[in-house]
Amino acid sequence: MVEPARPDPDQLLARVTEEARKQERGKLKIFFGASPGVGKTYAMLEAARRQRSAGRDVVAGIVETHSRSETAALLEGVDLLPSRKAELRGIEIGEFDLDGALLRRPALILVDELAHTNAPGSRHRKRWQDVLELMEAGIDVYTTLNVQHLEGVNDIVAQVTGVVVRETIPDSILDQADEIELVDLPVDELLQRLEEGKVYVAGQAELAKRNFFRPGNLIALRELALRRTADRVDAQMRLYRGDHSIQSTWPVTERLMVSIGPSPFAPRLIRAAKRMADRSGAAWVVVFVDTPQHSGASAQVKERMFSALRLAGDMGAETVTLTGSDVAETLLLYARSRNVSRIVTGKYTGPWWRRVLRGSILDHLLANSGDIEIVAISGDPDTGSPAREPSAPVRPQRWGDYGQALAVITLATGLCIFFRQTLSPVNLAMIFLLGVVIIATRASRRVALFASVLSVASFDFFCVPPYGTLAVDDSEYLITFAVMLVVGLSISSLTGRIRQQAAHAVGGEARTQALYRLTRELAGETLVFDVARKATGIMREVFGSLVVIFLPDQNGKISFWRRTTDQLSVPQTEEGIAQWVFDHGKKAGRGMDTLPGASALYLPLQGSQKTLAVIAIPAEGTELPASPEQQHLLELFASQTGLAIERVQTTAAVRDAQLQVETEQMRSSLLSAVSHDLRTPLATITGAASSLLIQGGQMSAETRSQLLESIAQEADRLSRLVNNLLEMTRLESGAVELKRDWHPLEEVVGAALTRLDGLLKGRAISTNIPEDLPLLSVDDVLLEQLFLNLLENATRYTPPGTPIRIAARAQNDGVMIEIADSGPGFAPGEEKLIWEKFYRGKGQGARGTGLGLAICRAIAQAHGGSIHAENRAEGGAMIRLWLPLGGKPPEAPPLAQHA
């Protein structure tokens, strides 16, 4: 199984990122000991003093000196963080002040007693969580820990010492530590210190203390501590080797799979597997197979299952919930798909007959495992054999069901009494069986059981001679009774199972449906808020509980004002919790280890890169998420919603980027066009003016007037360009508010023609505007501008003296205006291009700004109208402008009689 290989690049990469992460994070050093009294705190303080004299900013976060002077002496000169006042069972105690520490931001902080449980009302339930947050904030932490507080050895400690330690920390914390210093003291010396009263053990009665500090216990604990440290050194060694390829061996990663069921024995199984995995350096997966039977399990059993999976997750296992009706088969299928080399499972603890009847999971595994190793671990003697949990009935039991069963059996009995002379007893038994089947298909298993027994009894009583007694003449009937009972029970059990499976399938179907619906409905939304709001509604329907999603603002600040429901169903004071969840991407609140006192459960809504929002599930009217499958579904919903939000954000970002590119392109083309157009007339003006200034005296009058003329012309051109630019900018920025009023078209066209009198000189201008044309609701200034630009353009691209025709007629709730010339018309394809900014026609004398027609289009569009260009069949260009009336024209003037 050993293959010579270079270090796996993926693994190397993973370690590099891990190291990079570690560099930003604060470093954790654990002073690790076998038992209280070995001098961990002392060692920590000494180390802290050394750091301090090396010039580091060291703060004592919380240090228990247990009023020992030599320890207290070491604290001298070290900054002490004031402790936070908390209340525990009515007594005021000093707790570690996490916020104070984060605010103070020392380089190194001392936090004693890593396994400490915080007083209620603290942010985290456990001190180790505080420490993790400190590290995340980039603060180095020194802390102390006794081996018995390690989750992974918890049950061994309990076995060895008989003392159950309640304050435990996940083993992963130890693995996360950058450094572990073992503080070791030989047992004899420790006992001597104990004798001298130098050891303080909190909260332990004298007797318990005696029991705990027995030499046997201490030796065992010392061995545990040494071994745990050695394991770690070993792991480091392996890492080092892998890193440097000292030996060209790289172990193929072994994978261990633990199968757990809903028994109370699961945590023990998980711990054992963890030790096994650690020893062999294997990855491990904890698997729970959700069978139809489980869907009927009681809430208590589900909760136990849930917490076992959570424990496994905390201990660093990958946790998986599989669905299947055959546990062994599902497990093996999954094991093969993941290349699992060893399956760890519990020994069967149920009644022997059930094992004989159905076979245990273990038997199935052993029979079909092939080359996968199977390890069975026995049940824990202390907790007793795991009591069988009563499975909650799929249907609630009702006394009515018993009544119905009674009625059916009575009917069967009646029939049998009626036929007992004509039919043989074997056939009478069939009538009873029919009755049992009918009951079993409708009622619960218990009722079916009741019916089976009752039918056997009444068969015996009424149909088996001697009638009227339970006594039996022919002992052969005992076989009939037995078969009847077994058949009845089997049928009831089978139908019960089928019903559960059906319910399970329905549940699974409903979940799939709900998820599908979520994905489908979210896909149509284009705004983050709408996505969140829709998801809230669907989750509320599916989970039957209030759900609120809080969205952050641009600065990543969560505000309860940015929520997806009308009513705020969580207290405003919990905004900070939501913010914490958003910042750290971790769950918090009700039922969690962090801020368990909150009224709601807060879950981060994760995208692929970062946390996008926070979901809150208020306590009112819900116990969500009660079961693992609910929890699982909730997480699925959250991740789907997260993906949908991310999709919307990405789409928006892409659109923005595209817009920016377009704007940038437009800006640069505008800049180049404008700079050219501005410079050319300016060059003429400057040149001509300076020439006049310097050499004017020597010039002929004719030359002078030519120069002056070009100055005037170019200034005029410049002025037109600037006006157009300003107009375009105004229109495009949306700053233009149309000042609509009712105007006769004739008046606006007339004003434009008057203004262009000079330019139009020598041309035949025909206007055909009917007198009865309705008034138009337009901005007359902009509309005049439109006509000015169109007419100017027509004069620029047509030979002088050619006619221009303007005609208008009412059309489609608006007015169609046609402006036709007799020039060369548009080049092919130009009809559309001319409306673009900075497009200049290819005709002669093309000296426009390239903006005039773009402005025309912008003005037409601002009015809700449209403008098109085409070539006339008889030659020349034609512009068609359609403008809507813009509302209902006013009545004829009522003031006619006034004057």
Partner 1 sequence: MRNTPEILIVEDDPQIRRFLRATLAAEGYRFHEAETAEEAISQAAARQPDLILLDLGLPDLDGLEVIRRVRATSSTPIVVLSARGREQDKIDALDSGADDFVGKPFGVGELLARMRASLRRAATIGEGGTATVFCTAGVEVDLDKRTVRKEGAEVHLTPIEFHLLQVLIRHAGKVITQRQLLVEVWGPQHSDQAQYLRVYMAQLRRKLETHAARPQFLLTEPGVGYRLLEV
- Minimum CB–partner distance for residue 708 and partner 1 (Å): 12
Q: At what angle do helices 361-368 and 327-337 cross, to 10 degrees?
A: 40
Residue whose structure tokens are 């690790």: 32
Tell me if 708 contacts partner 1 by CB under 8 A.
Answer: no
Tell me which stretch binds partner 1 (CB under 8 A): 231-239, 243-251, 428-436, 719-727.
719-727
- Is residue 471 within the footprint of partner 1 (CB under 8 A)? no
In terms of DSSP H, where are the helices of 557-627? 575-584
From 171-179, 580-588, 779-787, 855-863, give the range in contact with partner 1 by CB under 8 A.
779-787
Quick one: how far is CA 443 from the chain centroid?
Answer: 43
C-beta of 405 vs 783, nearer to partner 1: 783
Tell me how far, at minimum, the Cβ of 806 lies from partner 1, in Å.
7
**Count of residues making up the chain:** 899
Query: Which of 723, 802, 866, 871 touches partner 1 by CB under 8 A?
Result: 723
> In the set 742, 835, 838, 839, which binds partner 1 (CB under 8 A)?
742
896 part of the interface to partner 1, by CB under 8 A: yes
- Residues whose CB falls within 8 Å of the CB of residue 374, separated by 6 or more in sequence, listed in order: 342, 343, 345, 362, 365, 366
Tell me how far apart the alpha carbons of residues 369 and 376 are, in angstroms, rounded to a whole number: 13
Which residues in 648-675 are b (16+ Cβ under 10 Å) and which e? Answer: beeeeeeeeeeeeeeeeeeeeebeebbe
Q: Tell me the per-residue interface mask from 873 to 892 with partner 1, x by CB under 8 A, - otherwise.
A: -----------------x-x
Work out which of 56, 210, 557, 739 binds partner 1, going by CB under 8 A: 739
In the list 75, 372, 626, 715, the residue contacting partner 1 (rule: CB under 8 A) is: 715
Whichever of 392 and 751 has its CB closer to partner 1, that residue is 751
Summarize the chain as % helix, strand, coil (round to 5).
Answer: 50, 15, 30
User: Which of 484, 515, 401, 382 is CA-nearest to residue 448?
Assistant: 401
Residues 743-772 that bind partner 1 (CB under 8 A): 743-744, 746-751, 753-754, 765, 767, 769, 771
Nearer to partner 1, 280 or 723 (CB): 723
Fill in the per-residue mask, 28 to 57: x = in contact with partner 1 (CB under 8 A), - = not in contact.
------------------------------
Single residue of 741, 836, 842, 847 touching partner 1 by CB under 8 A: 741
In degrees rounded to 5, what are phi and psi of residue 593? -75, -25
| Beta-bridge mates of residue 376 | 345
CB contact set of 25 (below 8 Å; sequence gap of 6+):
135, 136, 138
One residue of 5, 781, 810, 827 binding partner 1 per CB under 8 A? 781
Shorter beta-carbon distance to partner 1: residue 376 or 715: 715
Please list every residue from 639 through 658 that binds partner 1, using CB under 8 A. Answer: none
The residue among 457 and 738 lying less far from partner 1, judged by its C-beta, is: 738
The least CB distance from residue 833 to partner 1, in Å, is: 28
- Round to whole Å and give the CA distance between 434 and 421: 20
Name the minimum Å distance from CB 657 to partner 1: 35
Residue from 155, 460, 727, 821 that binds partner 1 (CB under 8 A)? 727
> DSSP letter string over 799-844?
-TT--EEEEEEEETTEEEEEEEE-S--PPTTHHHHTTSTT---SST
Interface region with partner 1, contact rule CB under 8 A, candidates 112-120, 468-476, 517-525, 781-789: 781-789
**The pair of three-digit structure tokens given for residue 227, joined into one six-digit string:** 């071994």
The backbone torsions φ and ψ at residue 261, rounded to the nearest 5 degrees and listed phi first, read: -120, -175
Work out which of 112, 314, 784, 821 binds partner 1, going by CB under 8 A: 784
> What H or E segment, with its residue span, contains residue 399?
helix 399-419
Question: 698: which residues sit within 8 A by CB, 6+ positions away?
Answer: none
529: exposed, middle or buried (Cβ count in 10 Å: 0-12, 13-18, 19+): middle
Nearer to partner 1, 245 or 729 (CB): 729
At closest approach, how far in Å is the CB of 718 from partner 1? Answer: 9
Q: Rounded to whole angstroms, how far apart are CA atoms 493 and 501?
A: 12
Q: Does 530 bind partner 1 (CB under 8 A)?
A: no
732 binds partner 1 (CB under 8 A): no
- Which DSSP letter does residue 574 get? G
Q: Report the alpha-carbon distance of residue 184 to residue 206 in Å, rounded.
A: 24
Query: Which 53-92 residues touch partner 1, going by CB under 8 A?
Result: none
Cα 496 off chain centre by: 38
- The amino acid present at 186, given as its one-letter code, is P
Interface residues for partner 1 in 795-854 (CB under 8 A)? 806
The size of the interface with partner 1 (CB under 8 A), counted in residues, is 35
Classified as helix, coil or strand, 144 is strand
Stretch of residues binding partner 1 (CB under 8 A), selected from 23-31, 413-421, 626-634, 721-729:
721-729
Kindly compute the dihedral angle of the four CA atoms of residues 726, 730, 736, 740, in this order, to the nearest 10 degrees.
Answer: 40
Indicate whether 719 belongs to the interface with partner 1 (CB under 8 A). Answer: yes
Using CB under 8 A as the binding rule, whether residue 775 contacts partner 1 is answered as yes
C-beta of 756: minimal distance to partner 1 in Å?
10
Task: Give the residue, chosen from 184, 575, 780, 818, that forms a contact with partner 1 under the rule CB under 8 A.
Answer: 780
Cis bond upstream, residue 466 (ω within 30): yes
Contact set with partner 1 (CB under 8 A): 715, 719, 723, 726-727, 739, 741-744, 746-751, 753-754, 765, 767, 769, 771, 775, 780-781, 783-784, 806, 890, 892-893, 895-896, 898-899
